[in-house]
Protein backbone atom coordinates (compact mmCIF):
# COMPACT_ATOMS: atom_id res chain seq x y z
CA UNK A 1 0.00 0.00 0.00
CA UNK A 2 1.32 3.45 -0.90
CA UNK A 3 2.08 5.34 2.27
CA UNK A 4 3.81 8.49 3.43
CA UNK A 5 4.92 8.59 7.06
CA UNK A 6 6.13 11.72 8.78
CA UNK A 7 7.99 12.20 12.01
CA UNK A 8 7.84 13.61 14.53
CA UNK A 9 4.09 14.01 14.85
CA UNK A 10 4.64 17.34 16.61
CA UNK A 11 7.56 19.48 17.61
CA UNK A 12 8.12 22.53 19.80
CA UNK A 13 11.23 24.63 19.31
CA UNK A 14 12.50 28.02 20.43
CA UNK A 15 12.54 30.92 18.03
CA UNK A 16 15.85 31.14 16.21
CA UNK A 17 16.61 27.42 16.46
CA UNK A 18 16.88 25.03 13.53
CA UNK A 19 14.83 21.88 13.10
CA UNK A 20 14.50 18.93 10.73
CA UNK A 21 11.31 17.12 9.81
CA UNK A 22 11.37 13.61 8.35
CA UNK A 23 9.35 11.88 5.66
CA UNK A 24 9.53 8.21 4.64
CA UNK A 25 7.48 6.87 1.78
CA UNK A 26 6.61 3.61 0.11
CA UNK A 27 4.86 5.14 -2.89
CA UNK A 28 5.52 3.45 -6.19
CA UNK A 29 5.83 4.44 -8.92
CA UNK A 30 7.46 7.66 -7.79
CA UNK A 31 7.12 10.89 -9.73
CA UNK A 32 7.97 13.69 -7.33
CA UNK A 33 7.93 14.70 -3.67
CA UNK A 34 6.54 17.94 -2.31
CA UNK A 35 6.58 19.72 0.99
CA UNK A 36 3.67 21.97 1.92
CA UNK A 37 3.14 24.37 4.80
CA UNK A 38 -0.40 24.58 6.15
CA UNK A 39 -1.41 27.25 8.63
CA UNK A 40 -4.32 26.29 10.87
CA UNK A 41 -7.62 26.45 9.00
CA UNK A 42 -6.02 27.51 5.72
CA UNK A 43 -5.05 25.80 2.50
CA UNK A 44 -1.57 24.28 2.10
CA UNK A 45 1.13 26.33 0.41
CA UNK A 46 3.81 24.65 -1.67
CA UNK A 47 7.37 24.97 -0.36
CA UNK A 48 9.34 22.66 -2.67
CA UNK A 49 8.83 20.05 -5.38
CA UNK A 50 11.60 17.54 -6.14
CA UNK A 51 11.85 14.85 -8.79
CA UNK A 52 13.85 11.66 -8.25
CA UNK A 53 16.94 13.22 -9.85
CA UNK A 54 17.04 16.12 -7.41
CA UNK A 55 18.47 15.56 -3.95
CA UNK A 56 18.20 19.02 -2.49
CA UNK A 57 16.09 22.10 -3.02
CA UNK A 58 15.88 25.34 -1.07
CA UNK A 59 13.20 27.96 -0.63
CA UNK A 60 14.51 30.70 1.63
CA UNK A 61 15.05 29.24 5.10
CA UNK A 62 13.53 25.92 4.03
CA UNK A 63 15.76 23.22 2.55
CA UNK A 64 14.38 19.88 1.43
CA UNK A 65 16.46 16.80 0.73
CA UNK A 66 15.51 13.64 -1.07
CA UNK A 67 17.12 10.21 -1.10
CA UNK A 68 15.21 8.25 -3.71
CA UNK A 69 17.17 5.08 -2.96
CA UNK A 70 16.12 4.93 0.69
CA UNK A 71 12.80 6.68 -0.02
CA UNK A 72 13.42 9.34 2.57
CA UNK A 73 13.08 13.09 2.55
CA UNK A 74 13.71 15.77 5.12
CA UNK A 75 12.75 19.40 5.50
CA UNK A 76 15.24 21.56 7.36
CA UNK A 77 14.13 24.91 8.73
CA UNK A 78 16.88 27.36 9.58
CA UNK A 79 16.64 30.16 12.16
CA UNK A 80 12.99 29.47 12.91
CA UNK A 81 10.50 32.30 13.29
CA UNK A 82 7.16 32.44 15.08
CA UNK A 83 5.47 32.49 11.68
CA UNK A 84 6.92 29.06 10.93
CA UNK A 85 4.38 27.58 13.36
CA UNK A 86 2.21 25.40 11.12
CA UNK A 87 1.67 21.87 9.89
CA UNK A 88 4.26 20.65 7.39
CA UNK A 89 3.00 18.05 4.99
CA UNK A 90 5.03 15.69 2.85
CA UNK A 91 3.30 14.64 -0.35
CA UNK A 92 4.46 12.04 -2.86
CA UNK A 93 3.14 11.87 -6.39
CA UNK A 94 2.58 8.47 -7.97
CA UNK A 95 2.51 10.17 -11.31
CA UNK A 96 -0.63 10.98 -13.25
CA UNK A 97 -1.47 13.55 -10.59
CA UNK A 98 -2.31 11.01 -7.87
CA UNK A 99 -0.90 12.44 -4.67
CA UNK A 100 -0.38 10.58 -1.41
CA UNK A 101 -0.34 12.88 1.61
CA UNK A 102 1.44 12.35 4.88
CA UNK A 103 -0.38 13.18 8.10
CA UNK A 104 1.91 16.15 8.69
CA UNK A 105 4.21 17.37 11.43
CA UNK A 106 2.82 20.12 13.63
CA UNK A 107 5.55 22.63 14.41
CA UNK A 108 5.22 25.20 17.14
CA UNK A 109 7.84 27.88 17.44
CA UNK A 110 7.81 29.72 20.75
CA UNK A 111 9.56 32.85 21.91
CA UNK B 1 -3.89 34.85 -1.39
CA UNK B 2 -3.47 31.92 -3.81
CA UNK B 3 -5.96 33.23 -6.36
CA UNK B 4 -8.23 30.20 -5.87
CA UNK B 5 -11.61 31.05 -4.40
CA UNK B 6 -14.04 28.74 -2.66
CA UNK B 7 -17.60 29.32 -1.53
CA UNK B 8 -19.15 29.10 0.91
CA UNK B 9 -16.54 29.46 3.63
CA UNK B 10 -18.69 27.64 6.17
CA UNK B 11 -21.64 25.32 5.72
CA UNK B 12 -23.78 23.73 8.41
CA UNK B 13 -26.37 21.16 7.43
CA UNK B 14 -28.13 18.05 8.65
CA UNK B 15 -27.60 14.38 7.96
CA UNK B 16 -29.24 13.16 4.80
CA UNK B 17 -29.02 16.52 3.09
CA UNK B 18 -27.20 17.48 -0.11
CA UNK B 19 -24.78 20.38 -0.52
CA UNK B 20 -22.74 21.92 -3.32
CA UNK B 21 -19.30 23.41 -2.84
CA UNK B 22 -17.93 25.77 -5.43
CA UNK B 23 -14.41 26.50 -6.58
CA UNK B 24 -13.01 29.08 -8.98
CA UNK B 25 -9.44 28.31 -10.08
CA UNK B 26 -6.68 30.83 -10.65
CA UNK B 27 -6.96 32.66 -13.92
CA UNK B 28 -5.48 30.47 -16.66
CA UNK B 29 -5.38 27.27 -14.61
CA UNK B 30 -7.03 24.34 -16.36
CA UNK B 31 -6.76 21.71 -13.64
CA UNK B 32 -8.91 21.61 -10.55
CA UNK B 33 -8.45 19.19 -7.66
CA UNK B 34 -10.68 18.46 -4.69
CA UNK B 35 -9.43 17.31 -1.29
CA UNK B 36 -11.05 16.38 2.02
CA UNK B 37 -9.36 17.03 5.35
CA UNK B 38 -11.11 15.57 8.37
CA UNK B 39 -10.31 16.76 11.87
CA UNK B 40 -6.74 15.93 12.82
CA UNK B 41 -6.26 13.91 9.65
CA UNK B 42 -4.25 14.38 6.53
CA UNK B 43 -5.54 15.58 3.22
CA UNK B 44 -7.31 12.99 1.11
CA UNK B 45 -7.34 13.44 -2.64
CA UNK B 46 -10.85 13.12 -4.04
CA UNK B 47 -10.85 13.94 -7.72
CA UNK B 48 -9.17 15.99 -10.45
CA UNK B 49 -10.57 17.67 -13.53
CA UNK B 50 -8.61 19.06 -16.46
CA UNK B 51 -10.29 21.42 -18.89
CA UNK B 52 -13.70 19.98 -18.16
CA UNK B 53 -12.80 16.30 -18.13
CA UNK B 54 -12.21 13.97 -15.21
CA UNK B 55 -8.49 13.06 -15.08
CA UNK B 56 -7.85 11.27 -11.82
CA UNK B 57 -9.95 9.79 -9.08
CA UNK B 58 -8.94 9.21 -5.49
CA UNK B 59 -10.90 8.13 -2.45
CA UNK B 60 -14.14 9.71 -3.51
CA UNK B 61 -17.35 8.17 -2.20
CA UNK B 62 -20.17 7.29 -4.57
CA UNK B 63 -22.33 9.82 -2.70
CA UNK B 64 -19.95 12.53 -3.88
CA UNK B 65 -19.67 13.85 -7.41
CA UNK B 66 -17.93 16.74 -9.09
CA UNK B 67 -17.83 18.54 -12.39
CA UNK B 68 -15.89 21.28 -14.09
CA UNK B 69 -17.77 23.75 -16.22
CA UNK B 70 -16.75 25.45 -19.50
CA UNK B 71 -15.68 28.56 -17.58
CA UNK B 72 -13.39 26.19 -15.60
CA UNK B 73 -15.06 26.65 -12.24
CA UNK B 74 -15.83 23.42 -10.45
CA UNK B 75 -18.47 22.13 -8.08
CA UNK B 76 -18.32 19.29 -5.61
CA UNK B 77 -21.69 17.78 -4.77
CA UNK B 78 -22.09 15.85 -1.53
CA UNK B 79 -25.32 13.96 -1.00
CA UNK B 80 -26.94 11.81 1.69
CA UNK B 81 -24.63 13.50 4.12
CA UNK B 82 -23.39 11.65 7.18
CA UNK B 83 -21.79 12.93 10.38
CA UNK B 84 -18.44 11.61 9.16
CA UNK B 85 -18.54 13.91 6.14
CA UNK B 86 -17.84 16.86 8.41
CA UNK B 87 -14.48 18.15 7.25
CA UNK B 88 -12.59 20.90 5.49
CA UNK B 89 -12.90 20.60 1.74
CA UNK B 90 -10.12 22.17 -0.28
CA UNK B 91 -9.96 22.95 -3.94
CA UNK B 92 -6.63 23.44 -5.70
CA UNK B 93 -5.74 24.46 -9.23
CA UNK B 94 -2.74 24.21 -11.49
CA UNK B 95 -1.87 25.31 -14.99
CA UNK B 96 -0.87 21.93 -16.30
CA UNK B 97 -2.15 18.43 -16.11
CA UNK B 98 1.29 16.92 -15.52
CA UNK B 99 2.26 15.46 -12.18
CA UNK B 100 4.93 18.09 -11.60
CA UNK B 101 2.53 21.01 -11.66
CA UNK B 102 2.45 23.22 -8.57
CA UNK B 103 -0.98 23.19 -7.00
CA UNK B 104 -2.40 26.33 -5.47
CA UNK B 105 -4.94 25.71 -2.74
CA UNK B 106 -8.02 27.71 -1.94
CA UNK B 107 -9.02 28.71 1.61
CA UNK B 108 -11.35 25.75 1.98
CA UNK B 109 -14.99 25.19 2.87
CA UNK B 110 -15.69 23.96 6.37
CA UNK B 111 -18.63 21.57 6.30
CA UNK B 112 -20.39 20.64 9.51
CA UNK B 113 -23.01 17.90 9.40
CA UNK B 114 -25.26 17.78 12.47
Cβ separation of B2 and A103 shorter than 8 Å?
Answer: no
* Amino acid A2: pLDDT: 77
With an 8 Å Cβ cutoff, are A101 and B43 in contact?
yes
Give the pLDDT score at A48: 93
Read off the pLDDT of residues A56-96 as tens digits, 9 standing for 90 and up: 999 999 999 999 999 999 999 999 999 999 999 999 988 76
Quickly list H helices, chain B: none
Q: Which residues of A touch B110 (CB under 8 A)?
A: 41
Q: In the predicted model, what is the mean pLDDT of residues A24-47?
A: 91
Give tens-digit pLDDT for A1-26: 778 999 999 999 999 999 999 999 99
Binary contact (B56, A93; C-beta < 8 A): no
Q: Is B70 on the interface with A (CB under 8 A)?
A: no
Residue ranges of chain B whose pLDDT lies below 50: none
Taking the Cβ of residue B72 and every Cβ of chain A, the question of whether any pair is shorter than 8 Å is answered with: no
For the cut 80, the answer to whether the pLDDT of residue A97 exceeds it is no
The whole-number pLDDT of residue B97 equals 61
- Residue spans of beta strands (DSSP E) within A43-111: 45-51, 56-59, 62-67, 72-77, 86-95, 98-101, 105-110
Q: How many CB atoms lie within 10 A of CB A17?
A: 11
Chain B CA closest to residue A97:
B99
In angstroms, rounded to a whole number, what is the distance separating the alpha carbons of residues A94 and A72? 15
pLDDT of residue A64: 97
Question: What is the SS3 assignment for A82?
Answer: helix
Distance between CA A105 and CA A50 in Å, rounded?
A: 19
Instruction: Collect all residues of chain B within an 8 Å Cβ-Cβ radius of residue A93.
Output: 99-100
B10 contact A CB<8A: no
Contact B62, B79 (CB under 8 A): no
Are residues A99 and B90, on separate chains, in Cβ contact within 8 Å? no
Higher pLDDT: A14 or A101? It is A14
Residue B29 CA: distances (Å) to CA of B59, B98, B103:
23, 12, 10
Residue B100 and residue A97: Cβ atoms within 8 Å?
A: no
Identify the pLDDT of residue A37.
96
CA atoms within 13 A on the CB side of B67: 5
To the nearest whole Å, the CA of A52 is away from the closest chain B CA by: 11
Partners of B90 on chain A (C-beta within 8 Å) are 43-44
Q: Do B102 and A49 touch (CB under 8 A)?
A: yes
A10-14/A105-110 β-pairing: parallel
pLDDT average, residue stretch A49-57 = 91
> Which residues in chain A touch residue B104, judged by CB atoms under 8 angstroms apart?
46
Select the residue from B26, B89, B92, B99 to test the A interface by mutation, using most A Cβ atoms within 10 A: B99
pLDDT mean over A32-44? 92
Cβ atoms of residues A51 and A31 within 8 Å: yes
Amino acid sequence: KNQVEQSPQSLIILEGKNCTLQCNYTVSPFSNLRWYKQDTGRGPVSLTIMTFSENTKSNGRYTATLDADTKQSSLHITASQLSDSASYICVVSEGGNKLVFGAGTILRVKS
Amino acid sequence: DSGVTQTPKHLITATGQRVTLRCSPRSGDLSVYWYQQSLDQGLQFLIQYYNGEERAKGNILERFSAQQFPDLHSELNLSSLELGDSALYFCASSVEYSGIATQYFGPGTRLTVL
